[in-house]
Amino acid sequence: MSEESEHIPLVYKIDIPSEFFNTVTGHHFDQCTMCETHLGFDTMYLIEKACKRVNSTLVYTLFEYAICLDCTLEMHNRMSKHSVASLQKFMAEKSHISSQRRHLEEDNLDYSNWLKTCVVNQKAATDLQEYNICGMFQGDSMILGDFPYLMSIEALEEMVKILSKETKDELDDFKRKHLGGPPEFEELFKNRPILVV
């Protein structure tokens, strides 16, 4: 096997785990939050959930959304060059994503530990008051590799600090348009970072 082929990532898929189901319906997400495209067999998409811990056994979802890859790329293209470069540097230097990807086969495709600690600061999810989880999907399967991961609110806030005002405005616009609701609900996540980028 050539050195180059050793670095080609394999794609592993498993059934979508329940922690990524739509909280309201109890089933898979079936459409993109932005463009309302049906998330069918061939459609790739991301799911993000913002979670808040009430006590040691109860965690509730602040907001959640599914977004198709086309809309994700559209959002990414709206980001400033400064933000793109800063985020790439942040993830390369601070996240443990490459480590989880390397150990995937050794762990027999068991991703569960990935959602037990923050991918940036390694804090245990059980010790976090708030965090987001994010996964990559295709149809009714979850794709393992760089995803899924959990990010603590502290890591998210650190990440948001490096974004340009232009990019922050884009993300605020996304939240206002697609995660809106009653004024008291909007207030709940007004300053809450998201991972759509």
Give the tens place of pLDDT for each residue, 53-96.
988 788 889 889 999 999 999 988 888 888 889 888 998 888 88
Q: Mean of the per-residue pLDDT values for the chain? A: 84
Greater pLDDT, 18 or 196: 18
Cα–Cα nearest to 52, from 133, 121, 149 = 133
CA dihedral 153, 157, 158, 160 (to 10 degrees): 140
Judged on CB neighbours under 10 Å (0-12, 13-18, 19+), 24 is exposed
Residue boundaries of the structural domains of the chain: 3-182
- Collapsing DSSP to helix, strand or coil, 109 comes out as coil
pLDDT at 9: 52
Residue 41 phi, psi dihedral angles, 5° rounding: -55, -45
Q: What is the pLDDT of residues 101-118, one digit of tens each?
A: 777 777 777 888 889 999
Interval 15-36 mean pLDDT = 94
The three-state DSSP-derived secondary structure of 79-100 is: CCHHHHHHHHHHHHHHCCHHHH
Please indicate whether residue 106 or residue 37 has the higher confidence score (pLDDT).
37
pLDDT at site 186: 54
